[in-house]
Amino acid sequence: MLSLTLSACVGKNSGRQSETIISESSMDNYVKSRAVADALDETEEEEPFTSYSYDFRSGKDNYIITVTPDETRTGLVLTLEDNDFGFTTFNVIPPEGYAVYMPYSQNEASTVCTVIKETDGSNSLPDMLKIDFYLSSFENESLPYSVCRLYTVIGGELKEFSVYDLRSAEIEENSVINGLLPIGYIPESNIFSPETGKFMSDPKVSVLDDGSLEVSIVTYEIDMENSRIYCRNEPCGEDSPLYYGYAVYAIAGEIYKYFKDTSLNVSDYENYVEVSSPDGNTSQYFFKVDDPRFSTVDELRTYVEKYFAKDIADNMFISAPQQYRDIDGELYTIVGDGGYNESLGRIFITQIDENVYDGIKYTTYHTKQEKFNENHDMTGYIDGGDFVVEFTGSGPGFLITKYRYPQG
């Protein structure tokens, strides 16, 4: 399996708006670019961002890429230096409606972009450059907040990959590529590599009219030969164990977060019920839940036990900071944030074991999890724990029998 690590870096655009990325390996290092909101305190006097240089490998050749703001400080200039000290310059022009992330100061210069590297030493794929762009105007609410482009160096030149959106069912069915115009960016910036040759964005969980949960996964498949990326809706059924695992894990997190991170939706914050502790020394304040799926604790527990084994559900209701109770025949909750462990990042599936016991199929997903330091630089991975799925053939079709909340 190939392994990738991401460290800050840059890419190019010779006036065009498309790109690509080279996926790689089974889930390896991804260093998140820091958002604009993470810029240094503006009250401090800092040296403005002027440039930053990165090492870059393509095959047996090594390069240095130096990134500087353009004259207007709205785009970037990339200077590629080869082994013979030859120089080539590229301009990065943001997509319409977007702006390149410009570090606030020279101290933050390394965050201007990201480099994706192999970590297994095989050198089978070149490094990749990833540049994130953020909305400069919020007038068009249909546009994603952040997008990205990816580049690599081929034959001594920075190569831009074209991105083709094949998510339309009609396009997918007919495999129409010729005549289809590329889009100007990957419509996500927070992407990662679940397997060689593909990237994916975080799974999207939707609540259907009947209250059940549905997951959609979008992947970005790399076509190195034709310098293309194909954006597709990834099938994530039982016949695709890897993506099925990511889908089930997303559902688990969607439910568990209402017991760990935040409460179910509350619309009325003006009215509440004060509940005193048994000794009368403290009080808790409960607010009415505004969620058509649940009107009582029993309904909420029945829903949770559709997806989780009983012992996991028991622990959620007993020990979770987000408490629920019935008051005057309606469901109430404590409003608040259960806390978020910023030292832990994304979970990656590293191995899949499928077994059958007493005629029942079980799949065990082994995982690893990103670990960050106080500066939010990724320092490596920790064991993310195993989660186990039992295939039931009823309800949602599965039951989660082992699980650890990733921010727990």
Residue 4 one-letter amino acid: L
Query: Higher model confidence: residue 224 or residue 1?
Result: 224
- Residue 209 per-residue DSSP state: T
Task: List the domain boundaries for the chain.
Answer: 4-234, 262-334, 344-402
Residue 205 one-letter amino acid: V
Nearest CA-CA partner of 370 in 151, 158, 192: 192
Q: Which of 76-80, 210-214, 276-280, 396-400 has the lowest mean pLDDT?
A: 276-280
pLDDT at 20: 30
pLDDT at 25 over 50: no
Average pLDDT (118-124) is 61
Quick check: helix, strand or coil at residue 281? coil
Q: What is the C-alpha to C-alpha distance for residues 29 and 3, in angstroms, rounded to an integer? A: 7
Helix then strand then coil, % of the chain, to nearest 5: 15, 40, 45
pLDDT at 7: 35
Quick check: helix, strand or coil at residue 54? strand
User: Is residue 324 within a helix (H) or strand (E), and if so which, with residue range?
Assistant: strand 324-327
Compute CA distances 349 → 47, 192, 283, 307, whole Å: 41, 12, 42, 20
Quick check: helix, strand or coil at residue 248? helix
CA atoms within 13 A on the CB side of 71: 0
Q: What is the C-alpha to C-alpha distance for residues 113 and 94, in angstroms, rounded to an integer? A: 13
Average pLDDT (37-54) is 71
pLDDT at 246: 97
Phi, psi of 83 (to 5 degrees): -65, -25
pLDDT at 63 over 60: yes
Q: What is the C-alpha to C-alpha distance for residues 64 and 66, in angstroms, rounded to an integer? A: 6
pLDDT tens per residue across span 352-375: 999 999 889 999 999 999 998 887
Nearest CA-CA partner of 404 in 335, 347, 355: 347
pLDDT at 119: 53
Which single residue is written with the structure tokens 């708006």? 17
Query: Higher model confidence: residue 395 or residue 330?
Result: 330
pLDDT at 297 over 50: yes
**Going along 179-249, which residue ranges are E strands?**
191-195, 198-201, 204-207, 213-216, 218-223, 228-233
Q: Are 216 and 246 in contact (CB under 8 A)?
A: no
**Mean pLDDT score across all residues of the chain:** 83
pLDDT tens per residue across span 236-278: 999 999 999 999 999 999 999 999 888 999 999 999 999 987 7
Contacts 24+ apart (CB under 8 A), 41-47: 42/104, 46/104, 46/105, 46/106, 46/107, 47/105, 47/106, 47/107
Query: Higher model confidence: residue 161 or residue 4?
Result: 161
pTM of the predicted structure, to 2 decimals = 0.81
Contacts 24+ apart (CB under 8 A), 391-399: 391/238, 391/360, 391/361, 391/362, 391/363, 395/306, 396/212, 396/213, 396/251, 396/306, 396/307, 397/238, 398/248, 398/307, 399/307, 399/308, 399/309
CA 247: distance to chain centroid? 13
Q: Which residues contact 201 (CB under 8 A, 6 or more apart)?
A: 188, 190, 191, 217, 218
